[in-house]
Structure 1
Amino acid sequence: MSCQDPELEAQIKAQAFTPEEAKAAGCDPITWHDGSDTAEAPVPDVISSPEPDLDHFSPTPPPSSRTPDPAISTRVDQAWARIERWLGEHASATLRKLKFPAGPEALALWEESHKRRLPDDLYASYMHHDGADGNLGDGFQLPPSYGLLELSDIDHVNSGKCQDLVMDGNREAADPEHGRWHGSLLAIGDTSTGKELFVEPRTGRVGESAWNEDLSYDGPMGWPSYLALLEALADSLERGTALRDWYPVVTPGCELRWAEEPADSAPTGCAGGPRPSPTPTPTVEPTPDKPTPEQVRASGCRPARGTPVVRTPGPEVTAQINAVWRRVERWLARKAPATYKLLPPPARPRDIAKVEAAMGLRFPDDLRASLLRHNGAGSWGFGPAPFYELMSAKYVYSDWKMLCDIVLSGSGEGVGYWWDGHLIPFAAAHDGGNLFIDTRTGKTGEYFNEEGLTFEGDVVWPSYLALLKATARSLETGRPIRGWRPTVRKGELDWESTR
């Protein structure tokens, strides 16, 4: 990769942790890959958990579950019972947003795959609720506005925090006691603005983390244990007293929030039960009809398995894509270095071929050439406005397959307006949507899980290349792209609305 700033690239590589230092910090190490052009500078890629191969694997027996300390479990059970009872009486909308338990199998799998145990109070809490609905669990908030994260979010948060830690190369920052992060920490809450609530597993203490700041265990939300936090939370709700600096209040929509002053009064009509059972009875929710063979064929979601064929994009398209990427790389390196660091190396042509064969589709040359430049953009990385990140080749397939499986799990009536197997997702949003290329027209469109497919309006571009060019032009000029202007926050590219 080249951004015409070799000094910056050399600095990034020189300051990053060595593999040994990364592992000592509890984080995945970095490997340095040469780009497809050997004259270009090396491209960093943070190694994450291996992605599943596209080939079929035989299932392995699940790991055995364990029982946390009975005394701790009992206290966690009692704390959650008090919290749930109060929510049912005063803030039922929040009660219904608490998710169902993680389950002993999921907890055992997490501990087995990470080769370490969760603290018993956190383990027991996940057996009550695996986080909450909303963006980063904000359906249930710990004071002042930490959304309750689910089990899988531990890895999501840790990946981003570790990536910053390893790339910055600050050895003193990799200290779970006095540093800025450590890979052993377990995120339990997130504000979505760069602040996390976490559990330090060796001592069980609860602390706070903020971007570019040292960890804090003695701040407003520092606690000797997660259990102590839950019990104090239950006390605050039942008594109406402050939890450290914040009072529980209920919104007109019957949701729990936290404020610096107690509320004068509470809304009425906010009593209610928990969310419905996850196992509906046939009389309540009848099993939908299966799609007909004609609907399955029309969906494009069950193609005949073909042989992977490695294809090379045309030289003219490749030249145009590389030219646009050089503009993007140059701008990111100078203006948004945190986003620049996330750019991964090229996809392997064989991987693209396997994805095409599995999907029964042929990628347009502009998308293929882009993947051969950068295999996506990394987690929370570069992407089109307003909040998309480019997908890797395997992410394209996994998202396509998931949506195809969903649309064919019902009666098949959603084919064509909720999802369609002839579409190639290429950019993901963290709210349940994506941008796609329609292989029948070459145009882009948008998918959102609550609304389905959009084939017209601001989300439509004549091609992937046209969208990438417009994005690069917006970065360089600062002019909005269909109502969204590029901005930089803490070294990361963001988009702000001009409407």
Structure 2
Amino acid sequence: MSSVGTSVSVSCDDPQSEAEIRAQAFTAEEARAAGCEPIVWDDDDPDRSPGADSDFEDDAGAGSGDGAGVVIDTQAMDEPSYLPRVPDAAVAARVGRAWDRIERWLGAHASATLRKLRFPVEPERVARWEDDHDRRLPDDLYASYLRHDGADGNLGEGFPLPPSYGLLGLAEIDYINWGRCQDLVLEGVRENADPEHGTWHGTLMPVGSDSHGAELFVEPRSGRVGESPSGGSLRYDGPMGWPSYVAMLEELARSLESGAALRDWYPTVTSGCELRWADEPAESLPGGCAGGARPSPSPTPTVAPTPEKLSPAQARASGCLPGRRAPVVRVPDPAVTARVATVWRRIERWLARKAPVTYKTLTPPARPLDIAKAEAAMGLRFPDDLRASLLRHDGSGEWGFGPAPFYDLMSAKDTRAGWKMLCDFLLGGPEEMVGTWWDGHLIPFADAHDGGYLFIDTRTGKTGEYYNESGLTFEGDDVWPSYLALLKATARSLETGRPIRGWRPTVKKGELDWKSTRNPR
């Protein structure tokens, strides 16, 4: 796999899988019609050598025959200049007043969030973005970037838009759009490429993103704000649908000042003086959170990161900053697949007879492409036993089947989202968290819904446990030599009724439950 320009080149280890992906993916024309870059398949241009560029062919020997080659005027190749435009004065004034109100409230009640708002985007950068993309930002979004280029922090930890969208900067439009376009083009569902009722369109401009893979976006033709849930259809009439970006900012300012709900959510402030949104109004806001003038609109010199924070090299070593890559569909080892299938048949047989309610939570197989996308996003290769298991059941749904005592098996998409959430927190924390609180080389595969996960360490193949308050556990009852070993032990416990490391399977009203043998009730 490789990339040429902004296009994506895809190849698969399995020719049959590649043929299936190619058959369903958008053609180049369909991809461009969807506002996205097309897929470049490895054999689309067999005569093209890596790095070849037809715009700079060697003309040596042509014309005079003296072999002098091409003389390039380097002065003519200087970086072009970009002339900033001036957004509509009335719109810019509304944006400015809304941000004045927001910043004033943050300075009085949530100064930690105020300090996370980034400096403005340089006008030349905005002009270059519009020139590169051959389209204009809506004037209210343009004016907002000239005030703040998003906010530091991830998953709503910077400046949160309700309920937990993190405010994005200008460069992040392309980053989010690239991933959503890749999904759209590879899935190849034509009706999904509809900016009104589909799942995405390359012309949409993401302005917020959350930990579940959902985006808040601006539709540039109308200026409307809409929502794109992960795996769902676009919505303009949902809780965070707005007629314009500036209308959203104005209502946000009103909610902060009055304490009233912004649609379904109320502003509140944490003990760390950070803005959050809650289902119920706050009885009172914590004291001592005033202070810290908002960042100067004039750029200041970049301060070197403190030793406690992750350096770029440490961030890469953490496994949480993988290089951008295209998905590659892989077929698990047939022998491993056979062993996994045997264990699953035992589990399915027992659940169908003894716990039919839990049996119904087992999901259909994962699509190989969904697994490949998760691997590409995480920069990891799933072990064959996990891959084969996902190809049998793509998780078990929320509150479904899973290992003792209270875990649910996760789908490929949930695995990707959970990994991203934990990595985003890790990248924003001190270096001491790497390898103790989380590590990007780990694959979460079971969710406890209380801040806990079971994971596979891709470096050893062993399982372990994560909990948000204590971090990683690499020894103890939750450590198994492999995912398959855990699956086998679970099947054996179901069939025999014997405890699995202190937890005995029981059934209540058709649902599997695990009871502790150490503290019997």
TM-score, L = length of structure 2: 0.55
CA contact (8 A) 2:91 2:140 kept: yes
The CA distance in 1 between the partners of 2:78 and 2:423, in whole Å, is 29
In structure 2, the residue matched to 1:164 is 183
1:15 and 2:24 correspond: yes
Larger Rg over CA atoms? 2
Match of 1:227 among 246, 269, 281: 246
**Contact between 2:119 and 2:147, CA under 8 Å: does it hold in 1?**
yes
| 1:132–1:150 Cα contact (<8 Å) kept | yes
CA deviation map 1:392-441 (0-9, x unaligned): xxxxxxxxxxxxxxxxxxxxxxxxxxxxxxxxxxxxx975999xxxxxxx
Q: Structure 2 vs 1, CA of residues 213 and 432 (structure 1 numbering), >3 Å: closer, same or farther?
A: closer
Cα offsets for 1:330-373 (capped at 9, x unmatched):
24998673465459xxxxxxxxxxxxxxxxxxxxxxxxxxxxxx
Distance change (3 Å), C-alpha of 1:144 and 1:452: closer
Instruction: Name the SS for the 1:31 alignment partner.
Output: strand
1:140 to 2:159 alignment: yes
For 1:471, the aligned partner's letter is T
Query: Structure 2 vs 1, CA of residues 122 and 341 (structure 1 numbering), >3 Å: closer, same or farther?
Result: same
Does the CA-based 8 Å contact 1:137-1:150 persist in structure 2?
Answer: no
Give SS of 1:71's match: helix
Quote the offset at 1:453 in angstroms.
Answer: 13
- Counterpart in 2 of 1:259? 278
- How much does 1:31 deviate? 1.2
Question: Mean alpha-carbon deviation: is it higher for 196-205 or for 271-280?
Answer: 271-280
Contact 1:97 1:275 in 2 (8 A): no
Q: 2:331 is matched with which residue?
A: 330
Deviation per residue, 1:287-345 (Å, 9 max, x gap)? xxxxxxxxxxxxxxxxxxxxxxxxxxxxxxxxxxxxxxxx99324998673465459xx
The AA in structure 2 aligned to 1:28 is E
Q: Distance in 1 between matches of 2:184 and 2:42?
A: 20
Give the Cα–Cα distance (whole angstroms) in 1 for the partners of residues 294 and 270 of structure 2: 19
- Report how far residue 105 of structure 1 moved: 1.1
User: How far does residue 265 in structure 1 lie from its aligned partner after superposition?
Assistant: 1.2
Match of 1:114 in 2: 133
Instruction: Please point out which of 258, 262, 271 is paired with 1:239.
Output: 258
- After superposition, residues 2-401 of structure 1 pair within 5 angstroms as 3-4=13-14, 6-34=15-43, 59-135=78-154, 138-274=157-293, 277=296, 329-331=330-332, 337-338=368-369, 341-342=372-373, 378=376, 380-383=377-380
Contact 2:426 2:433 in 1 (8 A): no
SS at the partner of 1:97?
coil
Cα distance in 1, alignment partners of residues 209 and 378 from structure 2:
19
Distance 1:231 1:181, change over 3 A: same
Cα shift at 1:478: 6.9
Alpha-carbon distance between aligned partners in 2 of 1:452 and 1:265, rounded to the nearest angstrom: 34
Aligned pair in 2 of structure 1 residues 328, 267: CA closer, same or farther (>3 Å)? Answer: same
The residue identity in structure 1 corresponding to 2:210 is: T
Q: Secondary structure at the match of 1:207?
A: strand
Aligned to 2:32, the other structure's residue is in SS state helix
Cα distance in 2, alignment partners of residues 479 and 454 from structure 1: 16
Q: How does 1:467-482 map to 2 (within 5 A)?
A: 471=458, 474=461
Q: What residue ranges of structure 1 are gaps of 5+ in the alignment?
A: 39-55, 287-326, 344-376, 386-428, 435-447, 462-469, 488-499
Aligned length: 328
Secondary structure, aligned partner of 2:17: helix
Q: Match of 2:368, as an amino acid?
A: P
| Counterpart in the other structure of 2:411 | none
Separation of aligned partners in 2, 1:60 and 1:455: 43
- Of stretches 158-167 and 273-282 in structure 1, the one that deviates more from structure 2 is 273-282
2:23 maps to a residue whose letter is A
Alpha-carbon shift at residue 111 of structure 1 (Å) = 0.4
Structure 1 Cα separation of the partners of residues 91 and 127 of structure 2: 18
Distance in 1 of aligned mates of 2:220 and 2:137: 7
Gap change, CA 1:161 and 1:88, over 3 Å in 2: same
The code of the aligned residue for 1:88 comes to G
Cα deviations by residue, 1:136-194 (Å, 9 ceiling, x for unpaired): 56310011111000111101110011001000000000000011100000000011211
Q: 1:384 to 1:479 in 2, by over 3 A?
A: farther
Structure 2 gap segments, 5+ residues each: 1-10, 47-73, 305-327, 338-364, 383-421, 442-456, 466-471, 484-521
CA change 1:331–1:281 in 2 (3 A) is closer
Counterpart Cα distance in 2 of 1:132 and 1:82: 17
**Change beyond 3 A, Cα 1:109–1:452:** farther
Q: Is the 2:268–2:281 Cα contact (8 Å) retained in structure 1?
A: yes
Q: Cα gap change, 1:72/1:34 in structure 2, threshold over 3 Å: closer, same or farther? A: same
Task: Give the Cα–Cα distance (whole angstroms) in 1 for the partners of residues 129 and 252 of structure 2.
Answer: 27
Q: 1:203 to 1:451 in 2, by over 3 A?
A: same
Tell me if the contact between 1:136 and 1:149 (Cα under 8 Å) persists in the aligned partners.
no
**What amino acid maps onto 1:121 in structure 2?**
D
* Separation (CA, whole Å) in 2 of partners of 1:281 and 1:31: 41
Q: For residue 488 of structure 2, what is the aligned residue in structure 1? A: none
Query: Is the contact between residue 173 and residue 180 of structure 1 (CA under 8 Å) also seen in structure 2?
Result: yes
Query: How far 1:106 moved relative to its partner?
Result: 1.1
SS of 1:21's equivalent in the other structure is: helix
Q: Secondary structure at the match of 1:152?
A: helix
SS of equivalent to 1:188: strand
Distance in 2 (CA, whole Å) between partners of 1:209 and 1:128 is: 25
Query: 2: distance between equivalents of 1:24 and 1:281?
Result: 42
Q: Would the alpha carbon gap of residues 99 and 25 (structure 1) be closer, same or farther in structure 2, given more than 3 Å must change? A: same
Equivalent residue runs for 1:408-423 within 5 Å: none
Distance 1:168 1:455 in 2: 35
Whole-Å separation in 2 of the counterparts to 1:119 and 1:152 = 16
SS of the residue 1:258 aligns to: strand
Aligned pair in 2 of structure 1 residues 131, 137: CA closer, same or farther (>3 Å)? farther
Distance 2:460 2:270 in 1: 43
Letter in 2 for 1:21: E
Q: Give SS of 2:268's match.
A: strand
- The structural deviation recorded for 1:8 is 2.7
Percent identical: 54
How much has 1:256 moved relative to structure 2?
A: 0.6
Structure 1 length as normaliser, TM-score?
0.57
Alpha-carbon displacement from aligned partner over 1:40-84 (angstroms, at most 9, x marks no partner): xxxxxxxxxxxxxxxx99641321100000000000000000000
What's 1:393 paired with? none
Structure 1 pair 471–79 and aligned structure 2 pair: CA distance change class (3 A): same
